[in-house]
Structure 1
Amino acid sequence: MIVEELAILLEKHQLTMGTAESCTGGKIAHMITSQAGSSAYFKGGIVSYCNEVKHQVLGVSSDDLEKFGAVSKPVVEQMALGAIRVLKCDCAVATSGIAGPGGAVPGKPVGTVWIAAAYKDKVVADCHHFPFYRSGNIEASAETALVKLLGLLEENGIK
């Protein structure tokens, strides 16, 4: 299970992590804290469901929110880096998307989710299009975020 793999890696290297979640609504934090001993590496999570919290708490640029929308690469990257800054952790994941069934806008159908992972000042993000109903889109987004973080850590020599 990805949560267990990540837990082993974080503990082994004495790293801490956090989350900045929008469309996943705390699902990632819940998955992590469901593991016994997660307090050794999990600092906390910020559920930034509205743009005001993305901007005021995580430091996402209001110009980027207006120009690109909340469901975008620049916003999710800033969310991940903001979580590292606010929570004072080594790495973080961030999600922003349209879980459904409503909320679609032109060019961003239901299931569109931007996911970012950050380690120190390095951040990677990409867009996913999940084909599920709301709960499936949330689950897929959360799993994908953790896989993305694990990959980023391994790319940076954390194995």
Structure 2
Amino acid sequence: LQLLVKEYLVTNEDEPIEAVVGKLLKAKGKTVSTAESCTGGYIAHLFTAMPGSSAFYNGSVVSYANDVKKSLLNVQASTLQLKGAVSEAVVIQMIQGALQNIKTEYAIAVSGIMGPDGGLPDKPVGTVWVAVGNNNKIVTEQFHFRFDRMRNIHLTAVNALNMLRQLILIDNGEMDNG
């Protein structure tokens, strides 16, 4: 049964998703970095709150401002201007910058509008773009959360971590790429 629901079954233990991801990374000797905008370092906090996380977690760039995205993550000014900070194109460039500059095998990037204000007609409050990736593959997904700021931040982090978990399992041949 577990093989049938592997995509949806995160763990059989009473442990948070960041611990599951940490164990997967540690078991394979891989590292991860984060490039966070809307979560403000929350994903980094989840990792670093765990004892032993230095074995798999290298660091983060909290790029709340566009200037930081450009200078530390190599996000192109033209991408920010044409697509906006909350876009698939920007989180892809954030991933690429994190992989290159922090030198990890995997990276997570998030950008969104957490609320309660800041929404636009085409990007309402709760709109989030998440990317996870490595040097061979980047996976993106857009989410639309509808809760208060802290809940939106937490849901962004949990979904990003689950996306990374799935990518690691695919890379390890433990889950289908579908």
Please list every run of at least 4 consecutive aligned residues from structure 1 whose deviation after the TM superposition is greater than 2 angstroms: none
Q: Aligned to 1:82, which of 97, 100, 106?
A: 97
Q: What is the RMSD computed on CA atoms of the aligned residues? A: 1.0
Q: Aligned to 1:26, which of 11, 24, 41?
A: 41
Q: Spell out the pairing of 1:55-94 with structure 2 (5 A cutoff).
A: 55-94=70-109
TM-score, with structure 2 as normaliser: 0.87
- 2:112 maps to which residue? 97
Report the Cα offset of residue 158 of structure 1: 5.9
- 2:152 maps to which residue? 137
| Separation (CA, whole Å) in 2 of partners of 1:68 and 1:3 | 30
CA contact (8 A) 1:9 1:158 kept: no
TM-score, with structure 1 as normaliser: 0.97
Deviations 1:60-105 (A, max 9, x none): 1111100000000000111112111110000010100000011101
Aligned length: 159
Q: Structure 1, unaligned stretches of length 5 or more? A: none
> For 1:57, what is the secondary structure of its paired residue?
helix
Q: Spell out the pairing of 1:1-16 with structure 2 (5 A cutoff).
A: 1-16=16-31
| Max Rg structure | 2
Deviations 1:33-52 (A, max 9, x none): 11100001100010000111
Q: 1:39 to 1:93 in 2, by over 3 A?
A: same
- 2:55 maps to which residue? 40
Q: 1:158 to 1:12 in 2, by over 3 A?
A: farther
Report the identity percentage.
45
- 2:9 maps to which residue? none
Report the Cα offset of residue 121 of structure 1: 3.1
> For 1:107, what is the secondary structure of its paired residue?
coil
Which residue identity is paired with 1:154?
Answer: L
